[in-house]
Structure 1
Amino acid sequence: MSPNAGDPLVAGAPQDAMVPPILRYALGLDQDEDGWTSSRGAAADPFAGAKSQDAHPFGKPSYPGGASDGWGQPNALVVSGGCDKELRVWDVKSGYCIYILRGHTSTIRCLKVLHGRPVAVSGSRDRTLRVWDIQRGRLLRVLEGHSQSVRCLDACGNRVVSGSYDCTCRVWDVDTGACLHVLRGHFHQIYTVAFDGVRIASGGLDTTVRVWDASSGTCLALLQGHTALVCQLQLMPTMLATGGSDGRVITFSLKGATFSVVQRLAAHDSSVSGLQLDDRFLVTSGNDGRVRLYKFDPPLFGNANGVAGGTGAGAGMGAGAGDGADPQCSFVRDMCDASESVWKVAYTRETCAVLCKKAGKMVVEIWSFKPEF
């Protein structure tokens, strides 16, 4: 085994090497349409066969978080990373950890699995990003350039955007390891980025959001409205949603040359910890222990069958609300009883998973969106 290879855990591994059943269900993320998880031992090039999308010049946006594409099926790979400096690759069907990936020298702060490819990208306090082949459990390359901790990243096709405490974002070509652009303009640490293949949004401790052109690296807009750290972002083709430590959620219209505020929501009593929207719904979570559901009227894309989640979807380029007035979202309900804290929310058209702390224990709650409210 090469020095950069992962450490496989064979069948019969100890119980602590298994994904808890409730977490397997909540993260039941299927293999993608190319079925690359079905031949884990193959020697295929993980960068072969990447598809381009008309709406995204660099390919399709990655699935949010460290998991392969799709929901609700058993044949998934989930990738986790944390303070132990290691990434673990989990087989959801069996529940076993199949690889431990070592190389980072400090806490792993962020990671993404690329769409349609068995490749994960991780960012760390050691100031580097690392690109991994999760099918074969090996390091592919190290991306160096940041001078301080890498706090956040997002990906689309073969492009990755990283945000750092050095107040810059960097755009990388994952295939070559080249840094294509350095985005400068923030005056304080960057905590969150979103990338849809066309535009990049970044937010941080200076309370501002900046929108960038992904191809040229030029700043398109400086957006203000938060009074504290901007910690959550999501890009859609016609709308940007932001969440801050001030408890506010702000939606901005991205139509035309001028990006304007659509709505300001006093969503939480403390920091916004999660934010996700599609053409119908906006779901937010906060450190106040609440998960809140809002509904867009009219739908963002003028239909009821939009694609949920991520940091942008090509389907959103169609006709709909983007051709007229900007849609407003109205509060529907709190989705669960108050928790001690909520760490993450993720949903599709029908199901929402909430990772929270209740009575001192980690709990995953599964909520149904049907019948529609």
Structure 2
Amino acid sequence: MSQEFPDRLVHTINCKQGAVRAVRFNGDGIYCLTCGSDKSVRLWNPHRNIALKTYSGHGYEVLDAQASCDNSQICSGGMDKTVVLFDVASGKTLRKYRGHAGTVNCVQFNEESTVVLSGSIDSSVRCWDVRSKNMEPIQVMDEAKDSVTTIQVSDHEILTGSADGSIRRYDLRNGKIITDFIGKAVTSANFTRDGQCILTSTLDSSIKLMDKDTGEMLNEYKGHKNTDYKIDNCLNCKDTQILSGSEDGYVYIWDLIETKVISRLKHENQRVIHSLSYHPTEISLLTAAGDKMYVWKSKSTVDEDTSGQ
């Protein structure tokens, strides 16, 4: 059976936010967030090309955002060194955390969305309790020797990647830190959906699939260009394909096992494709380049959407 991938461009959306710094599906994939160089976060229904709300509270470019598990809150971080918590329905700023000494590159909720974790150019990860009125971090992890570029959170682990060339895994059950030196600066790190492996992108145009427990490299994926920018990687919803942005204007899709490029998604103007997000259950992908968001689906997903309307 031939593999399906999101190779059909369904929508090209001008987000009207200046440069789109990140695009993120929410937990169930119905909505998404875009982060803009105009200091805003926007909420969309990307499947219908509808902008739903704009959130303002940052003083400078917004670089990352995530929706909480019940979709009632949004956390975001940016170049103004702050982490902002928004109420989705009202659009109001609920909290503004100011503990970082530099740009906040990445933000994540924990699994229950009770804590926001933020990674910064100041080499630290800070944890903020969103239920309390306390504006100080409840924990600071400062083991990185350079900028923290990426954070992922599972039920009992925190995964960080840093420009110091290492990924760090914090096991919350036993308080251990496991550090794996990858080599070049790490720009993106993700758990596979089964939690067994870690996918890391580095500034030598390489993506590595690592066994989480042993640190052994299982596979390596090449062909894209990534030497200068922070570029996202991700897996599809079934853990069978690897996807990455690239500095040559394409999104690359590899077969997880065979490591060969099975598709390239061309974007207009050959701009750097730095951010992408895969739908949690469907063959659907969001990508960002310049001031636009692109919505990609497979033929079968497009057919389902049109028959369901």
TM-score, length-scaled by structure 2: 0.75
The number of equivalent residue pairs is 271
In the other structure, the counterpart of 1:344 is: 275
Q: How many Å apart are 1:330 and its aligned residue?
A: 2.6
Q: How many Å apart are 1:165 and its aligned residue?
A: 0.9
In the other structure, the counterpart of 1:292 is: 252
Residue 331 and residue 367 in structure 1: after superposition, are their counterparts in 2 closer, same or farther (change >3 A)? Answer: farther
Q: How many Å apart are 1:190 and its aligned residue?
A: 1.4
Greater share of residues in strand = 2
| 2-structure distance, mates of 1:66, 1:155 | 13
**Structure 1 residue 224 corresponds to structure 2 residue 181:** yes
| 1-structure distance, mates of 2:288, 2:63 | 19
Q: Give 1:279's match in structure 2, choosing from 239, 249, 252.
A: 239
In the other structure, the counterpart of 1:321 is: none
| 1-structure distance, mates of 2:204, 2:144 | 19
**Structure 1 residue 171 corresponds to structure 2 residue 100:** no
In the other structure, the counterpart of 1:353 is: 285
Q: How many Å apart are 1:164 and its aligned residue?
A: 0.5
Letter in 2 for 1:347: Y
Letter in 1 for 2:11: I
Q: How many Å apart are 1:276 and its aligned residue?
A: 1.0
Q: Give 2:101's match in structure 1, choosing from 147, 158, 165.
A: 147
Q: How many Å apart are 1:223 and its aligned residue?
A: 1.3
Within a 5 Å distance, the mapping from 1:96-175 to structure 2 comes to 96-98=51-53, 100-156=54-110, 157=112, 158-175=114-131
| 1-structure distance, mates of 2:288, 2:84 | 29
In the other structure, the counterpart of 1:331 is: 260
| 2-structure distance, mates of 1:215, 1:141 | 28
| 1-structure distance, mates of 2:43, 2:267 | 32
| 2-structure distance, mates of 1:166, 1:279 | 33
| 2-structure distance, mates of 1:70, 1:239 | 23
Letter in 2 for 1:125: M
Residue 342 and residue 102 in structure 1: after superposition, are their counterparts in 2 closer, same or farther (change >3 A)? Answer: closer
Q: How many Å apart are 1:167 and its aligned residue?
A: 0.5
In the other structure, the counterpart of 1:246 is: 204
Residue 132 and residue 362 in structure 1: after superposition, are their counterparts in 2 closer, same or farther (change >3 A)? Answer: closer
Residue 216 and residue 110 in structure 1: after superposition, are their counterparts in 2 closer, same or farther (change >3 A)? Answer: farther
Taking only the aligned residue pairs, the percentage that are identical comes to: 19
| 1-structure distance, mates of 2:174, 2:83 | 22
Letter in 1 for 2:294: V
Residue 338 and residue 366 in structure 1: after superposition, are their counterparts in 2 closer, same or farther (change >3 A)? Answer: closer
Letter in 2 for 1:169: V
In the other structure, the counterpart of 1:95 is: 50
Q: Which has the larger radius of gyration?
A: 1
| 1-structure distance, mates of 2:152, 2:57 | 26
Which segments of 5 or more consecutive residues in structure 2 lack a partner in the other structure?
Answer: 1-9, 14-21, 302-309
Q: Secondary structure at the match of 1:185?
A: coil
TM-score, length-scaled by structure 1: 0.63
Q: Is the 8 A contact 1:131 1:140 kept in 2?
A: yes
